[in-house]
Amino acid sequence: MARVYVEAHGCAASYSDSEMISGILSGAGHTLTRDRDESDIGVLVTCSVKDVTANRMIHRIKTMGDKPLVVAGCMPKAEQKTIKRFAGNASMMGPDSIGRTLDVINDTLQGRRRTELSEDKSDKLTLPRVRINQAISIIQIATGCMSDCSFCQTKLAKGDISSHRVGDIVRQVRHDIRDGCREVWLSSTDNGCYGLDIGTDLPTLIDAIVQIDGDFMIRVGMMNPMYMPRIRDSLLKSYESEKVYKFLHIPVQSGSDDTLVGMRRGHTARTFRGMVERFRHRFPESTVSTDVIVGFPTESDGDFADTISLIQDTRPDMVNVSRYAARPGTKAALMPQIDTDTVRQRSRALHEVTTEISLESNERWIGWQGDVLFAETSSAGVRGRNMAYRPIHVHGAKLYSHQSVLVKAATEHGLSGLLV
C-alpha cells in the first residue's frame, strides 16, 4: 500500500474526477496524504483549456516529477507529447479512464509507465469518492460536448457528449444528500446540451432533483448559449424552485458575431442578450456570469469594440476575461495570430470595464438581509452563498449551516456581512 498525493486543477468536473480517484485509492487500502513530500506517488488531475493553465500544469508536472507520477485529466488526451517531454516516466490517464486508476497506480509504483486514454465503460456516477468538501456533491451529469469551437481543446480530450440518465443522477444526488451534502453542483462540459443524446434535457433533470427530500441547494453549471433557446422557457420554470440558486453561467466569449463565427460558437450576441434579459426579468435578484476571450485571431478593433458594448449593455455580474492563446490541435491555432501587445491592451481595457461593473453589482446588495448557506472556508474565514450564489464572508458563521445575514460591505470580488 502506498501514500498517494492527489492534486486537481480546472473545472468542477476535474475536481470530481479527483474525488473519484481518491475514493478508488482509499477503498483499495492506499493512504491519501495532503503533503506531496510525504507521498510515495502523485496524481495530477490536469486542465489544458487555456495557455496560462497549460503552463501551470507543465510547471506542476516538472515539480512533481521527482517521484512516481500519474498525469490525469484533459492534458494527457490533448497534449501527450508535452507530458512526455517534461516527465518521460509519468503514466497518463484520461478523464474517461478513471475506472482503471488502480492498474495505473500499481504499474507506476513498480516503475512501469502506463497510458490509459481509451473510454472506460465504468459508470462514473457509481464510483466511490472522497469529497474535497464534505458539504458539496459534484455530480457530472455528462461528459463531452456537442460543440466544435475552433479555439478549444475540450473536444479533443472528452469527445462527443455522453449523458447520464436522469434516474441514475437522481439516485446519486439522493445518496449524497443523505450523506450530509448541502450543495449539489450539476457539472459537465456543457450543461445546456445535456440529454440530447438520450432523449431528455436539463430542465427535466432539475425538476427531478428538486423533488428529493432534504435541505440542499443546486448550482447549475455552465451552459453554452448555442443550446439555450430550445430549453429557455422550461429552464426558467425549473429555476423557480427554492432549491435552485438563481445563478446563470452562460459564456458569450465575444460580442461580435463575426468573431463568434470564427470561433465556431454557434450562437450570436443577440442569443446571449435575450437569455440574460429573460433571466433577469424572471429573477431580479440573481447572478449572471459569463466568459470572454480577447485577441482571437480574427478579432478586429471593431469586433473588440462590439464586445465592450455588449458587456456594458448587459452588465454581467461576473466576467472571466481570458487572453487568447493558440492551443495545440485546435483549428484556430493554424490562423494568423494577433500580436501579444494588442491582446494585452484589449484584456486590460475589458478588465477595467468588468471590474467597475462587478463592484457596482455587488454594492447593490449592501443592506440585503436573508438566508445564507455556509459550506466553504476561505482565507477570510467562513464563506456562504445566498439564493443568488453571491459569496458572502461572515466572521463567526457556523460551517455547514443556514444563518440569517445582513450584508454590510462589498468589493468587486464579493460581499461581507454580519449574523443577525
Higher pLDDT, 163 or 380: 163
Kindly report, residue by residue over 19-60, the tens digit of the pLDDT. 999 999 999 999 999 999 999 999 999 998 888 888 999 999
- Is this model's pTM higher than 0.85 or not? yes
The pLDDT confidence band at residue 409, using thresholds 50, 70 and 90, is: very high
- In the predicted structure, residue 120 carries a pLDDT above the cut 90: no
pLDDT value of residue 121: 58
Kindly report, residue by residue over 211-225, the tens digit of the pLDDT. 999 999 999 999 999
Least confident span in 273-282, 339-348, 394-403: 394-403
- In the predicted structure, residue 379 carries a pLDDT above the cut 80: no
Q: What is the mean pLDDT of residues 190-195?
A: 96
Residue 212 one-letter amino acid: I
- Calculate the average pLDDT of the chain: 95
User: Using CA atoms, how far apart are residues 243 and 19, in angstroms rounded to an integer?
Assistant: 24
pLDDT value of residue 156: 81
Higher pLDDT, 156 or 346: 346
